[in-house]
């Protein structure tokens, strides 16, 4: 499956969006259907989610892919 984006730095935007919705990593993970560890690793930039998982997170947090996962080319 296609990975969403190559992430090498912390995903602050995802963390901010999650906090906006007053959700813990575990709660977001449960809503999306993944483990808490996976959300933690995505926020840390240590795991590249698939496009499918990116979309599931975006739909849960009412955000677009651009809002949460876009990074300008280095």
Partner 1 sequence: MGLFKKRAVQDERVVNMKNKIYAELYILILVICAASVVIKRFVYEPGFEHISTELTILIAGGLYYTYRSAKLGVFSAEVELHDRQSKWSMQKKNLVMSIGLGVVIALAFGINSAVQYAEGFAQSVYYFLLTAFGSLMIYLPVFIMLLVVGSELAKRKSEREIDKMLGDDDEKY
| Nearest residue to 43 via CA among 62, 59, 24, 60 | 24
Cβ neighbours of residue 54 closer than 8 Å, sequence gap 6 or more: 4, 5, 65, 68, 69
> Closest approach of Cβ 49 to partner 1, in Å?
12
The residue within the footprint of partner 1, chosen from 5, 34, 55, 56 (CB under 8 A), is 34
Closest distance of CB 25 from partner 1, Å: 5
Sequence length of the chain is 74
Query: Does 43 participate in binding partner 1 (rule CB under 8 A)?
Result: yes
Q: Which residues bind partner 1 (CB under 8 A)?
A: 1-3, 6, 24-26, 30, 34-38, 40-41, 43-44, 46
């Amino acid at each position: 499956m296609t990975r969403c984006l190559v992430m090498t730095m912390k995903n602050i935007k995802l963390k901010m969006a999650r906090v906006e919705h007053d959700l813990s990593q575990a709660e977001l993970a449960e809503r999306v259907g993944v483990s808490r560890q996976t959300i933690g690793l995505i926020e840390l930039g240590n795991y590249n989610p698939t496009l499918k998982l990116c979309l599931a997170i975006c739909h849960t947090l009412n955000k677009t892919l651009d809002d949460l996962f876009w990074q300008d080319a280095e």
